[in-house]
């Protein structure tokens, strides 16, 4: 199949509005903002590709995220990177901005709106597999143009294995439609083919097949159901039966193994699924952990001390009773039956927060909530309405200056938002969503510091 024949794959798959297609596929309410990142999430399989980039990017450099989507590289802000994103979908651009990108623009990837040599790094994750074959070289040329001399480009690219999977020309129209409809993959090539393309543009190219061993539970099921990859049936059945928390535990274990494989530099065999690729005109450094500095991931140090709101403070620990932050809007965390927040503060006189719930039949069956601080009940009340409630709870003087605090919120019932919708697999047990948790006190300041807003720093 020639490139021109391959170029109309979107059209043949019935996808005429590319921006709309990617909006529906990749724009979500997921919060990727670095300020909401939990240190433990570095082992989450969801962030495995992000962590590879994170460990290979120099702190304080400028990075272009090609096909930024909702902003999967937002975590790079923890390394004080100047982060720019481009995407074909305006909604994705908005989501990337929302997640903390310094600049995000709508643009065709083969005509980037940047001056020559603008970036130290040009990065893409899960993008080049979506670029049609005829555009791939143009995109790589643009990457080279906007990259500074000696700059490095890094890519996570979806691959195919023609020995086990049909190539596009071999697919019937229906097969092609179904295949492309899953993710919009119109430019899948084998690992070596990708490397060959890059070698046409860059002097040095290195690549490593990844995702040979470790996939998230969701990815296992997608590969099996969407792409027809063969996995043991009982294993797939087991994965389908996992609850939200079990899936998260599975993904964390997979992410941990993924991370260790990278750390130890263990080469993986070709799997025809995914490849990490680095290219540059300069000599390439180590493939993994070239600029590893994870200090920004753990305690927020400087910036964390400044935040008057617990939600975005990395010194504050939200336990497993809380789910990842969601854009409702605003950005809020859903809670299960109970959630704990641990924080250190010199003095607390009042805790203020906003909360809401989407529980059904709330008027008939109100949800009862209990707020406990260091084992002492602060408040006990019921929610009868779905609207946001601004709650202010006074802290008794006996607790006010204990230094270390654990705020626990308990709900008497939960609700599965869409338990019957197999497509979403959102089987989280939700009770309330909480945001804007503010600690007020005469000497309040997270981490034992003074309140930054009143600080004379």
Partner 1 sequence: MINDVESILNEIRERIRADHDPGGVPVTPVQSETAKTSLAHANAENGNGESLIRMSAHLTTTSRAWDRLPPMYSNRKGGTARLELWIKARLKSMSHWFTWEQVNFNSAVHHALAETLHALSAYGQEIAGIRAELRAELPELRAELRAELRAELRELRAELRAELRELRAELSELRELGAELGAELRKESESWREELDLRDRELIALRASIEVLTTEIRKSDADSQARSAAMETRATESAAAIREEIDAARMAMTSQLAGLAGELRESDQQLREEQRVCFKQLSLEASEASVAADRGRRVIESRLDNLEKSLSNGEK
What are the start-end ranges of the E strands in 193-291?
204-210, 274-280
- Both structure tokens of 295: 């200090």
Strand pairing class (317-318; 338-344): antiparallel
Q: How far is the CB of 74 from partner 1 (least distance, A)?
A: 15
Angle formed by the axes of helices 244-264 and 217-227, nearest 10°: 100
- Both structure tokens of 456: 């004379």
Could you tell me how many residues make up the chain? Answer: 457
Q: Is 370 in the site for partner 1 (CB under 8 A)?
A: no
Q: Is 364 in the site for partner 1 (CB under 8 A)?
A: no
- Is residue 259 classed as helix, strand or coil in its secondary structure? helix
Q: Is 430 in the site for partner 1 (CB under 8 A)?
A: no
Cα-based torsion angle of the residue sequence 344, 346, 350, 356 in order, rounded to the nearest 10 degrees: -20
Backbone angles phi and psi of 334, in degrees to 5: -80, 150
Give the contact letters, 268-307, x = binds to partner 1 (CB under 8 A), - = no.
Answer: ----------------------------------xx--xx
Q: Is 83 in the site for partner 1 (CB under 8 A)?
A: no
Q: Is 457 in the site for partner 1 (CB under 8 A)?
A: yes
Give the contact letters, 338-357, x = binds to partner 1 (CB under 8 A), - = no.
Answer: ----------------x-x-
Q: Is 390 in the site for partner 1 (CB under 8 A)?
A: yes
Cα gap 23→89, rounded to integer Å:
6
Q: How far is the CB of 386 from partner 1 (least distance, A)?
A: 6
Q: Is 329 in the site for partner 1 (CB under 8 A)?
A: yes
Cα gap 35→20, rounded to integer Å:
29
Binds partner 1 (CB under 8 A): choice among 328, 362, 393, 399: 328
Strand pairing class (62-66; 82-87): parallel
Which of 144/312 has CB closer to partner 1?
A: 312
- Burial, 254: exposed, middle or buried (Cβ in 10 Å; 0-12, 13-18, 19+)? buried
Which of 31/205 has CB closer to partner 1?
A: 31
CB 106 within 8 A of CB 87: yes
Q: Which stretch binds partner 1 (CB under 8 A): 247-255, 285-293, 384-392, 395-403?
A: 384-392
Q: Is 226 in the site for partner 1 (CB under 8 A)?
A: no
- Is residue 41 classed as helix, strand or coil in its secondary structure? helix
Which of 234/302 has CB closer to partner 1?
A: 302
Which of 134/452 has CB closer to partner 1?
A: 452
Which of 138/362 has CB closer to partner 1?
A: 362
Q: How far is the CB of 452 from partner 1 (least distance, A)?
A: 5
Q: How far is the CB of 306 from partner 1 (least distance, A)?
A: 5
Which of 329/375 has CB closer to partner 1?
A: 329
- Is residue 450 classed as helix, strand or coil in its secondary structure? coil
Omega into 330 within 30° of 0, i.e. cis?
Answer: yes
Which of 2/390 has CB closer to partner 1?
A: 390
Binding residues vs partner 1 (CB under 8 A): 302-303, 306-309, 311-312, 328-332, 354, 356, 386-388, 390, 435-436, 438, 452-453, 455, 457
């Amino acid at each position: 199949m020639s490139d021109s024949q391959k170029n109309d794959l979107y059209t043949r798959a019935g996808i005429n509005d590319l921006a709309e297609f990617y909006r529906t596929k990749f724009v979500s309410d997921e919060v990727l903002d670095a300020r909401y990142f939990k240190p433990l999430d570095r082992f989450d399989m969801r962030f495995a590709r992000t962590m590879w980039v994170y460990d290979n990017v120099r702190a304080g450099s400028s990075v272009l995220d090609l096909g930024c989507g909702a902003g999967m590289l937002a975590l790079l802000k923890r390394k004080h990177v100047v982060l720019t994103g481009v995407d074909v979908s305006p909604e994705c651009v908005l989501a990337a901005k929302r997640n903390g990108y310094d600049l995000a623009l709508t643009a065709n990837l083969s005509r980037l709106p940047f001056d020559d040599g603008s970036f130290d790094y040009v990065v893409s994750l899960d993008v080049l597999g979506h670029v049609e074959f005829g555009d791939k070289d143009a995109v790589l040329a643009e990457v080279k143009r906007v990259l500074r001399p000696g700059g490095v480009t890094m890519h996570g690219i979806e691959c195919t294995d023609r020995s086990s999977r049909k190539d596009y020309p071999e697919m019937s129209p229906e097969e092609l439609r179904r295949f492309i409809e899953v993710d919009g993959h119109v430019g899948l090539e084998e690992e070596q083919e990708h490397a060959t393309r890059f070698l046409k543009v860059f002097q040095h190219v290195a690549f490593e097949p990844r995702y040979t061993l470790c996939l998230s539970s969701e990815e296992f099921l997608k590969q099996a159901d969407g792409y027809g990859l063969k996995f043991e049936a009982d294993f797939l059945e087991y994965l389908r039966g996992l609850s939200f928390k079990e899936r998260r535990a599975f993904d964390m274990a997979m992410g941990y193994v993924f991370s260790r494989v990278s750390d130890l530099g263990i080469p993986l065999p070709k799997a025809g699924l995914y490849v990490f690729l680095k290219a540059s005109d300069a000599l390439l450094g180590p493939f993994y952990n070239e600029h590893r500095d994870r200090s920004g991931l753990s305690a927020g140090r400087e910036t964390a001390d400044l935040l008057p709101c617990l939600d975005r403070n990395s010194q504050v620990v939200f336990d497993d009773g809380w789910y990842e932050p969601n854009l409702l809007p605003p950005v809020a965390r859903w809670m299960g039956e109970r959630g704990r927040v641990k924080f250190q503060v010199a003095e607390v006189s009042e805790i203020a927060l906003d909360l809401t719930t989407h529980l059904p039949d709330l008027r008939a069956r109100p949800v009862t909530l209990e707020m406990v601080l260091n084992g002492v009940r602060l408040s006990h009340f019921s929610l009868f309405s779905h609207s946001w409630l601004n709650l202010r709870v006074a802290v008794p003087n006996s607790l006010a200056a204990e230094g270390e605090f654990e705020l626990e919120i308990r709900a008497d019932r939960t609700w599965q938002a869409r338990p019957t919708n197999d497509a979403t697999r959102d089987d989280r047990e939700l009770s309330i969503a909480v945001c804007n948790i503010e600690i007020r006190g005469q000497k309040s300041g997270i981490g034992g510091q003074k309140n930054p807003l009143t600080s004379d720093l």
